[in-house]
Amino acid sequence: MDTKELLGRAQEYVELEQDPRFRDEVKSLIAAGDLDSLNDRFYTSLAFGTGGLRGMIGGGFNRMNPYVVRRATQGLADYVRFAAESPAPKAVIAYDSRRYSALFAEEAALVLCANGIKTYLFSSLRPTPELSFAVRRLAATTGIVVTASHNPPAYNGYKVYWSDGAQIIPPHDEAIIARVRAVARDTRAMSREEATAKGLLVLIDREIDDPFIAMVKSYILRPQLVREKGAGLKVVYTPLHGAGRMPIERSLSELGFRVVTVPEQAEPDGEFPTVQYPNPEEASALKLAIELARRERADLVMASDPDSDRLGIAVPQGGDFVLVTGNQLGALLADYILSSRRELGRLPAKPVFIKTIVTTNLQARIAESYGAKVYNVLTGFKYIAEKIRLFESSGEGYVFGGEESYGYLVETEVRDKDAVSAAVATAEMALYQIAQGKSLLDRLHELYERHGYFEERQISRGFAGESGREEMGRLMDRLRSSPPRALGGVEVALVKDYGAGTTLDLRAGSSDTDIDLPSSNVLQFVLADESIVTARPSGTEPKIKFYASCCARPGTALAEAKREVGARMRLLEEEIDRIIAGS
């Protein structure tokens, strides 16, 4: 982009943006002649993708700001008025603790109201799963949650939901994207006072909170155990300055569990001052919680991310606490929920378990051992939600599902990952194992001995700016056109291309179109020893992610299995590092 075009785009934004904080930011860059900064903000427009928006906060078309939010919401409103089954469409909006989340939520609400769409706006921050629940309970056409999940403080975004309470999928996603792109310079909006006076803007809180919490508590499998012994379980919890405090504290406390919240991280704060990343996947994010748990002699540590859809835990071992990975917690929950339902006679006639293609196969082995059918879906909880919707007419019964990135869904009233219900299920599970004279780690080791020891790693690399995205594309193209014949010294047997829907058998030299999933830019390499390496560009961040999984044979002694798998994993990590370095 030449200087004249760049400055023209910057000036156009200045004219369109009504918020002086964001407008003046760009005006200052123009006055200073900072072309590099302007180029980063204007070389492209922040894309409304298949899930919505996510980007750095700031002035510019390639940033999250009031104008970009209004434009995206105008496109959404245009589609809602076109596609809504009801002549009086409705929307629900929630937001988390991030910088400007409340502002962006209100901007979106006032655009929807100006387009004649009655909008329910939460009066203060609420978690993503409660937004999904509210869409279904209020019979809304669409929903928005303003969040950038577990990204650093510089980011914000919003996710769009449809009437089933799930994030948008075809045909809605592409149709909404097209409507957003078609929005010209101007957007419709009205004042908050006018929207309220006309009954188009309605504030909500307890009328959704109370039934949401009641629903979460209803999924307790052993209520008598919880009533009798719940007070004996002490949980240290941190919301990481996000939206999880109210629903998780309330759910656990009302069930009788003792909850101690980390005071330094209890209050909402979009700067996330006590952590580098507000992500329960990061060990550093649980540091304060574990320190408190040692002092309190707690039985369990829990952490939710800012919009409270992800849950991380740590458990006591030998006087300290051990972090449990997302794959491990998913395996434990699958085992507890399926075994408990079978024991209590509450398994559906056709039980179903769902996981993503990058989630450990240990979970699949566990689910199948209880007679559940296992579905593998693409990364993204919207694909799990889509399956649940299809089960409503197929006669299959959803029991549990999740993904490796600390996301789980216990119930069907929510159609996205839910840290609130997962926290309650985890507390009950920990209490049950203690009642059996075991710890969660004891049970995990039993699962490893029965089904085989599994170990997983994720290796990511960021690709900043315009050139970075091009570099990321070249890396995927190279892996697709010239797949490696071996990884970590082990032969690659199969190459699964989820973009083309094909499986290439490198041994036989044959290719089959046998992947019945939506097209996605993902490559998966299945090795001769059953290890799996998956390459997937992130859909929400400018990075590529490699997932590696290795396993030992069932029945192998745990110590031996860990040595064997650890050695193979180190070789795979070195190989992946070389692939990334060569990009």
Start-end ranges of CATH 3.30.310.50 in the chain? 454-581
Instruction: Give residue-wise pLDDT tens across range 138-155.
Output: 999 999 999 999 899 999
Q: Are 97 and 47 in contact (CB under 8 A)?
A: no
First to last CA, the chain: 25
- In CATH, which superfamily holds the domain spanning 327-450? Alpha-D-Glucose-1,6-Bisphosphate, subunit A, domain 3 (3.40.120.10)
Over pLDDT 70: what percentage of the chain? 99
CATH of domain 212-319: 3.40.120.10
**Strands 234-238, 490-497: pairing kind:** unpaired
Give me the mean pLDDT over the 415-435 stretch: 98
Question: What's the length of the chain?
Answer: 583
Q: So which residues are the catalytic ones?
A: 149
Position 65 scores a pLDDT of: 98
Position 485 scores a pLDDT of: 95
Position 583 scores a pLDDT of: 56
Strand partners, 236: 260, 301
Give me the mean pLDDT over the 402-417 stretch: 97
465 pLDDT band, cuts 50/70/90, is: low
Instruction: Give residue-wise pLDDT tens across range 209-227.
Output: 999 999 999 999 999 999 9
- Given a cut of 90, whether residue 468 has pLDDT beyond it is no
Cα dist. 169→53, 162, 386 in Å? 15, 9, 8
541 pLDDT band, cuts 50/70/90, is: low
Start-end ranges of CATH 3.40.120.10 in the chain? 44-204, 212-319, 327-450
Strand partners, 353: 374, 400
Give me the mean pLDDT over the 500-512 stretch: 94
CA-CA distance, 435 to 457, in Å (whole number)?
32
CA-CA distance, 450 to 129, in Å (whole number)?
34
Position 49 scores a pLDDT of: 83
Q: Residue 43, CB half-sphere, CA atoms under 13 Å: how many?
A: 11
* Strand ranges inside 139-179, DSSP E: 142-146, 155-162
Paired tokens of 216: 């979460």
Cα–chain-centroid distance for residue 12? 34
Per-residue buried b or exposed e for 259-293, using 16+ beta carbons within 10 Å of the residue's own CB: bbbbeebeebbbebebbebbbbbbeebbebbbebb
Instruction: Give residue-wise pLDDT tens across range 247-283.
Output: 999 999 999 999 999 999 999 999 999 999 999 999 9
Position 86 scores a pLDDT of: 86
Lowest mean pLDDT among 45-54, 264-273, 380-389, 451-460: 45-54
184 pLDDT band, cuts 50/70/90, is: confident
- Given a cut of 90, whether residue 471 has pLDDT beyond it is no
Which among 342, 418, 459 is positioned nearest to 166, based on CA atoms? Answer: 418
Q: Are 57 and 22 in contact (CB under 8 A)?
A: no
Give me the mean pLDDT over the 156-178 stretch: 95
Which of these CATH numbers, 3.40.630.30, 1.10.1530.10, 1.10.260.30, 3.40.120.10, describes 44-204? Answer: 3.40.120.10
Instruction: Give residue-wise pLDDT tens across range 330-341.
Output: 999 999 999 999
- Given a cut of 90, whether residue 374 has pLDDT beyond it is yes
Position 539 scores a pLDDT of: 62
| Arithmetic mean of pLDDT over the chain | 95
- Given a cut of 80, whether residue 239 has pLDDT beyond it is yes
Instruction: Give, in words, the CATH class of 454-581.
Output: alpha beta
- Given a cut of 60, whether residue 115 has pLDDT beyond it is yes
Which residues lie closer than 8 Å to 19 by C-beta, 6 or more apart?
A: 65, 66, 67, 103
